[in-house]
Amino acid sequence: MHPSEVLFQGRQQPVYLPVCDHYAGSEKLMLKSLVLQQELGPVFDITLDCEDGAGAGNEEAHARLVAALISGTENHHGRVGVRVHDVGSEFFEQDVALICKTAAKHLAYLVIPKIEDAAELVQAITIVNRHAKKGGRSNLPIHVLIETHGALAAVHSIAAIPQVECLSFGIMDFVSAHYGAIPSSAMRTPGQFTHPLVTRAKLEISAACHAHGKVPSHNVTTEIKDTAVVANDATRACAEYGYTRMWSIHPDQIKPILKSLSPRNSEINEAAQILTGAQQAQWAPIIHNGRLHDRASYRYYWTLLQRAKSSGLPLPETASALL
């Protein structure tokens, strides 16, 4: 039996995604991002942005541009998604229709912002599925931005929807929704990791994702020039809040996020050794370096290898055989 069958009997297997989600809105930045992805490989995702990227009055042309780029030769790895306008916008269904008509088969995922509750999301997904089907695609992965009071209150119901694979925290809209009750300093470090209402939101999102096998994606770092700040934010998001993915809004943020959120070589090698021993023992408990391991820890190490694979990291031959 494959390790996934042994270790996740009767359980939903978790989703694995590249650890960095890079947003680009203008044509110039979208093209630059695609070139960088060609150079580095599919170790990070690109989200082409219709919500904030389209200028007023240019929404249709922007959606057509996004569709052309996703379905074009610039998309080498198939790891490009799109953020559309929110469900309440007159441009939501227009974005979905135009993009799915041309690029449904090539989309990695579709991001829906400003959802208020699970019922609204289900309605939005129904619209997406209708247009995706016309474009020859079924079950298009959905990512959801959690940035409203309603979405946070319903976060477990949202994470439980099968087609959803990732929840992202929209910290700026979330803080703004408190109308000054949360200071602007809570949108950045150190406030974003200390203000109780913000940390509560981060924890709720992360917990909901892990309860349903989905990927929690941490909010942006607005500091662009100092990459040490980006690396620190990513490290804290992972170590303290359980986030396994993070937004990037500038190309210089991509590598610090990759380094901070990807498993270390020592962890990968240890995981490969433990799982190889477990497989040889037919998944019975083993002793490795003086410590007992059983199926609970096997799931942990197998998940770690999956994350390493999603990040494009080199794996030992023994690990490749397991995956």
In 3D, which of 259, 287, 284, 263 has the Cα closest to residue 273? 287
All CATH 3.20.20.60 domain ranges in the chain, comma separated:
3-261
288-309 average pLDDT score? 93
pLDDT of residue 208: 98
Any idea which architecture 3-261 has in CATH? Alpha-Beta Barrel (3.20)
pLDDT of residue 9: 80
> Is this prediction's pTM over 0.85?
yes
pLDDT of residue 18: 94
Tokens of 291: 């410590």
Least confident of 107-116, 148-157, 285-294, 311-320: 311-320
235-252 average pLDDT score? 96
- Going by their DSSP bridges, the two strands 286-288 and 291-293 should be labelled as antiparallel
pLDDT digits (tens, 9 = 90+) for 278-288: 999 999 999 99
Q: Write the DSSP string, 268-303.
A: HHHHHHHHHHHHHTTT--EEETTEEE-HHHHHHHHH
pLDDT of residue 184: 95
Q: Where are the beta strands (DSSP E) in 70-214?
A: 80-83, 110-112, 142-146, 164-169
Q: How confident is the model at residue 3 (pLDDT cuts 50, 70, 90)?
A: confident
3-7 average pLDDT score? 85
How far CA 248 is from CA of 5, 51, 74, 298, in Å, comes to 34, 16, 20, 31
In 3D, which of 253, 249, 264, 274 has the Cα closest to residue 307? 264
SS3 assignment, position 194: coil
Q: At a CB cut-off of 8 Å and minimum separation 6, what does 24 contact?
A: 30, 32, 33, 46, 47, 48, 49, 53
Q: How confident is the model at residue 314 (pLDDT cuts 50, 70, 90)?
A: confident
pLDDT digits (tens, 9 = 90+) for 163-196: 999 999 999 999 999 999 999 999 999 999 999 9
pLDDT of residue 118: 98
